[in-house]
Structure 1
Amino acid sequence: MAKLLETFPCVPSTERGRGILIAGDPKSDSILYCNGRSVFIRSLRQPQDVQVYGEHGYAVTVARYSPNGEWIASADVSGTVRVWGTHNGFVLKNEFRVLAGRIDDLQWSLDGLRIVASGDGKGKSLVRAFAWDSGNTMGDFDGHSRRVLSCAFKPTRPFRIATCGEDFLVNFYDGPPFKFHSSHREHSNFVNCIRYSPDGTKFITVSSDKKGMIYDGKTGDKIGELDSADGHKGSIYAVSWSPDSKRVLTVSADKSAKVWEVSEDGTVGSVIKTLTFMESGGAEDMLVGCLWQNDHLITVSLGGTMSLYSADDMDKPPLLLSGHIKNVTSLAVLGTNQKTILSCSYDGLIVKWLQGVGYSCKLQMNDNMKIKRLAATESSILLSGFDNKVWRIPLTDDKFGAAEHVDIGHQPLDISIAVDSPGFTALVSFDSGIALLNGMSILNKIDLGFVVAASVISPDGREAIVGGQDGKLHIYSVSGDNSFKEEAVLEKHRGALTVIRYSPDLTMFASGDANREAVVWDRETKQVKLNNMLFHTARINCLAWSPNNKMVATGSIDTCVIVYEVDKPASSRMTVRNAHLGGVNAVAFVDECTVASSGEDASVRLWHIESQ
């Protein structure tokens, strides 16, 4: 049996020059955000408490709770809205094709019977209001000529809908059935976000022209604006009202969030607090999303980091929730007491996680370096990407050191470290051969005469196994002068090798291939110890041994993690289905009964494995 212990979730997908939408449910104090095809439900009281909805066929753009908190409506880039329950396995209530293109925002009516969605209609309707249960359209929304970035439903009767977009317009509709009432052009750039106050008396718009405008909630007339004296110096991407309708939170490309006091009559908004976000010092610190929920002020940076401030004590340092935005390509587990997990994603981000705690710290590689492989010891990390370089980063308690690199003249395929060798010798394979490294110096580099697909070096550095595209395993001894001598060739696989790993006690090794098969070998006799490990339905991407040498875990692009016990038939396996939407890229054992996995959904998960 396998049970999910912990999820280290990804952060919201962000896009430069665009605001993003996070929503929440004040009753359960949880928030919703989107990444890829998934919607993440995350508790603010327990940030490690995460649920994932992954039923959309396209990238999800926005998700919102219904007013009673029982339903969630989520929309994607295809123009589809799905309405599903928050309990009992996310039961689907309805699915509607609402717009012809991407949906950028949606809102529920106060009674939970209507939904309005806006976005890119690709020449057709840009805004649509519909019944949540039947999908019947409720009115006509004329007046916009370009993509509608945001919409708002008046939370009190009589109902009104306000919209804004790339045509610099703010449009106002009354109903239902809804019809055009008036249009305003006070902004001189994209109007990024529009929000009604909880009491319904006012609504506010913010724009890339660095201004915020306040309108009467019932008539749609402009009544005031945010004071520009202490205002933002960059585009304002998002705005959120306080629960008492007296203050608003705004975030901007100038890397700051501001809390404004809005006068009772709505004629002016004055800054009462500025919250500045500084993490990397670069463009990733721009703030693109925000939410005011109960006592929490939440801001989201372009790099995906969520900062949780207390509304009662804004001077208190925020709780930072960070993680990956892109797919996680590699994992490494360090430490014996406090288990440390290192994960790296395709976009060059390395994140350090602590078991039972979550996010610890992160390092963004420079020059937009893409990371494909990671290997680590207690003191350093080795990385390879899509150029010819192998990078080394020193590792101290809670910090990453300065990176240095060596050029091996070929694009690296696989990296492994001889953890018990002096100076941590590393084996790097490339398409036609292998290279032996120590520190940043190349000890030996040879061409093997066949197409290489995977490789590994033994912990003592005296043996290396290289797998070919032809499915053969070549075993080499490594002598004192760092030369390689071929000792044996093993044939069993019918597809290109994708991964090879030694058992911790060095008595066995395991290999996996692109033809979905894994094999456990006896190292001394070179005989197959466990075969018929053919239970994946697609290519095996990764493989790991348990510390006690009794179990082997494999991960595949079929989204499953399968754990085999070496002394039992392969048929008595334990399978974690749908471990990661889109496929599993890396697995590693944290201890004898805990497996860490990562994949295309940009998240890291820990599974408790019980022997059957």
Structure 2
Amino acid sequence: MPYDLKHVFASLPQMERGVAKVIGGDPKGNNFLYTNGKCVIIRNIENPAVADIYTEHAHQVTVAKYAPSGFYIASGDASGKIRIWDTTQKEHLLKYEYTPISGKVKDIAWTEDSKRIAVVGDGREKFGAVFLWDSGSSVGEVSGHSKLINSVDIRQKRPYRLATASDDTCGSFFEGPPFKFKFTLRDHSQFVNCVRFSPDGSRFVTAGADGQIFIYDGTNGERVGTLGGEKAHQGGIYAVSWSSDSSQLISASGDKTVKLWDVGAGTAVTTFNMGTDVTDQQLGCLWQKDHLLSISLSGYINYLDKNNPGRPIRTIKGHTKSIQCLTVHKNDGRKYIYSGSHDGHINYWDSETGENDCFSGKGHSNQVSKMVTDHDDVLVSCSMDDTVRFTSINKKEYSASDLVKMDAQPKSVSVAAGGLSLAVCIGQIVLLKDKKKVFTLDNLGYEAEVGVIHPSGSTAAVGGADGKVHLYSVQGNTLRDEGQTLEANGPITDMAYSNDGAYLAIIDEKKTAKAFTVADNYAVKNEFYGHHAKPVVLAWSPDNEHFATGGMDMTVFIWMVSDSDRRFKIPDAHRLHHVSGLAWIDEHTLVTTSHDASVKQWTIKY
């Protein structure tokens, strides 16, 4: 194989305000899993930079849970489909597929022998179902609710018991199998968000939007107590997770705290304060061996520290929304990846370890469209918030002053020696020098899509929707139209000069790539064909011999400038999502990003 997948830096969970997020735990205690978009993400709990992504659902996946055996995962999506797939093989082969309810799946529970599955959610005819995993035949019915069911759990011991929690402010208790409705639990005054049996089966708890947690007997369903007296939390509670010895549990709440409870005493042992911002609301939690995890509304995954509740041991950051652009920069001898997303968030990653963070301060307020780094360790980014920002990579914080407001929305930005930057906006080309506008070109007569400055700073090339590259010479602080254009086969989607400035490569909507030799008055060096849908991104390898293109066909091609027949292909680089960003870490390592909000690194062998 000419390529290998080296690293996957996965997306964060997709969060929604006021909606609980279920995190699944691996029975062996090594991994945890959650969902984002159409993906199920499996991450190693010791080293979360090790991740795997399952992408076989056609609709948004809402919940995924390991079977107690650890060999299978059941995942459910917004259409009501459940897929049961293998965890041991890389291919994650599908074992069974069912559609037990006709709407969004909210929670899944297995019996301890991994033979029966309960599924609940927002169906049209019914809100839940219990069935045999291998035949899909029913083993009872989930009834007794008038509104969608948020949560379900099954006692992990015989005699089996099943409990549900619903938006109709009630819980229900079932005996089985086959599971039969026994009675309704009417203790909550608002939506019931979560129900969980203790691992030893002696108790189960329900948690609700009224901030209360009730404890019930695991065998007969009788209420035996509450946690925290009148109120366990000041805000709604979205999730609870038990310790493996069944003596304690953690609860995650909209009041921006996670609490650790001694269940026997009914009191909180520790309160973890997660912050003061709205995005610090806690919507999910998991107790896995010694690890206590919680998920914030921001999507951040927090590893809680019992000895220091004010500060998590670590917080996993990343993207929850689609990544739009990408660049790579070397800092203190280490290579870093910078990714910018649809919600204006910029994240940076250590390319080796996957350690990542974001800049402090207030950054872009809308989609980051393009990013580049210059020789002075400055990240130049343009965004749909009509600004071009200059951010010091060493300071790692946004500067309120190094920000240039544009007259029109910028689509593309490029840098060159001597402090020059070029921004292509809707209907305008703007030349900047030392972080200030020095020249603006209006009335172009064509729609400019993307612009690049030659590394020497002498020429600016602008690709248009008219299928031409317009060349301008940079003279002092002005751009002069030299009247020279280069022909493409269609509207230009991206372009770049090679690092040594010898070539200009372009891609267009007609699925062609072209390379021009700069010294030879931009004579066509080669044309490249292979994409079967529009390519949208292009990046030169540091060897100046190869460049990569990626696009709507989810495929990445690596082309050799001197030989158009020699090409390398990475099909399905990001399944279900087109490639939105490309960058090279070194001659043999390519980074790709996509709308699945994950970052992948590939080792390329020529």
Classify 1:4/1:219 alpha carbon distance in 2 versus 1 (closer, same or farther; 3 Å): same
Counterpart of 2:382 (choices 364, 381, 384) is 384
Q: CA deviation at 1:560?
A: 1.5
Deviations, residues 284-340 of structure 1 (Å, cap 9, x unaligned) = 111111000111101111111111235688688412211000111111111162001
Distance in 2 between residues matched to 1:591 and 1:607, nearest whole Å? 11
Q: CA deviation at 1:366?
A: 5.6
Distance in 1 between residues matched to 2:266 and 2:566, nearest whole Å? 66
Alignment partner, residue 284 of structure 2: 289
Alignment partner, residue 391 of structure 2: 393
Counterpart of 1:110 (choices 112, 116, 131) is 112
Alignment partner, residue 360 of structure 1: 356
8 Å contact kept, 1:64–1:107: yes
Distance in 2 between residues matched to 1:358 and 1:290, nearest whole Å? 23
Equivalent residues in 2 for 1:216-295 (5 A)? 216-228=217-229, 231-263=232-264, 268-278=265-275, 281-295=276-290
8 Å contact kept, 1:433–1:449: no
Classify 1:228/1:395 alpha carbon distance in 2 versus 1 (closer, same or farther; 3 Å): farther
Distance in 2 between residues matched to 1:231 and 1:410, nearest whole Å? 51
Distance in 1 between residues matched to 2:326 and 2:492, nearest whole Å? 19
8 Å contact kept, 2:472–2:479: no
Is 1:572 the counterpart of 2:566 in the alignment?
Answer: yes
Classify 1:481/1:323 alpha carbon distance in 2 versus 1 (closer, same or farther; 3 Å): closer
Distance in 2 between residues matched to 1:143 and 1:386, nearest whole Å? 49
Distance in 1 between residues matched to 2:366 and 2:449, nearest whole Å? 22
Is 1:371 the counterpart of 2:373 in the alignment?
Answer: no
Equivalent residues in 2 for 1:348-497 (5 A)? 348-363=344-359, 365=362, 368-377=365-374, 378-402=376-400, 404-418=402-416, 420-421=417-418, 424-447=419-442, 448-491=444-487, 493-497=488-492
Distance in 2 between residues matched to 1:479 and 1:431, nearest whole Å? 23
Is 1:327 the counterpart of 2:329 in the alignment?
Answer: no
- What SS does the aligned partner of 2:572 have? coil
Q: CA deviation at 1:150?
A: 0.4
**Greater mean deviation of Cα atoms: 538-547 or 406-415:** 406-415
Matched residue type, 2:461: I
Classify 1:258/1:143 alpha carbon distance in 2 versus 1 (closer, same or farther; 3 Å): same
Counterpart of 2:500 (choices 497, 501, 505) is 505
Is 1:299 the counterpart of 2:305 in the alignment?
Answer: no
- What SS does the aligned partner of 1:258 have? strand
8 Å contact kept, 2:11–2:598: yes
Deviations, residues 547-576 of structure 1 (Å, cap 9, x unaligned) = 121210111121111111223x33321111
Classify 1:99/1:4 alpha carbon distance in 2 versus 1 (closer, same or farther; 3 Å): same
Distance in 2 between residues matched to 1:49 and 1:386, nearest whole Å? 33
Equivalent residues in 2 for 1:128-277 (5 A)? 128-228=129-229, 231-263=232-264, 268-277=265-274
8 Å contact kept, 2:285–2:294: yes
Counterpart of 1:559 (choices 546, 554, 558) is 554
- What SS does the aligned partner of 1:194 have? strand
**Greater mean deviation of Cα atoms: 309-318 or 482-491:** 309-318
Q: CA deviation at 1:78?
A: 0.4
Matched residue type, 2:38: R
Deviations, residues 326-365 of structure 1 (Å, cap 9, x unaligned) = 1111111111620011111001111010111213311475
Classify 1:389/1:310 alpha carbon distance in 2 versus 1 (closer, same or farther; 3 Å): closer
RMSD of aligned Cα (Å): 1.8
Question: Percent of aligned positions with the same letter in both sequences?
Answer: 36
Distance in 1 between residues matched to 2:157 and 2:311, nearest whole Å? 34
Q: CA deviation at 1:131?
A: 1.0
Classify 1:387/1:45 alpha carbon distance in 2 versus 1 (closer, same or farther; 3 Å): closer
TM-score, structure 1 length as denominator? 0.94
Matched residue type, 1:13: Q
- What SS does the aligned partner of 2:390 have? strand
Structure 2's unaligned 5+ residue stretches are none
Matched residue type, 2:136: G
Q: CA deviation at 1:583?
A: 0.8
8 Å contact kept, 1:331–1:588: yes
Distance in 1 between residues matched to 2:435 and 2:169, nearest whole Å? 55
Q: CA deviation at 1:522?
A: 0.5
Structure 1's unaligned 5+ residue stretches are none
Q: CA deviation at 1:282?
A: 1.9
Number of equivalences: 598
Distance in 1 between residues matched to 2:213 and 2:538, nearest whole Å? 53
Q: CA deviation at 1:433?
A: 3.0
Alignment partner, residue 514 of structure 2: 519
TM-score, structure 2 length as denominator? 0.95
Q: CA deviation at 1:220?
A: 1.1
Matched residue type, 1:527: A
Deviations, residues 111-161 of structure 1 (Å, cap 9, x unaligned) = 111100111013x10011111111112212221111111000111011111
8 Å contact kept, 2:408–2:428: no
- What SS does the aligned partner of 1:357 have? coil
8 Å contact kept, 2:49–2:355: no
**Greater mean deviation of Cα atoms: 314-323 or 154-163:** 314-323
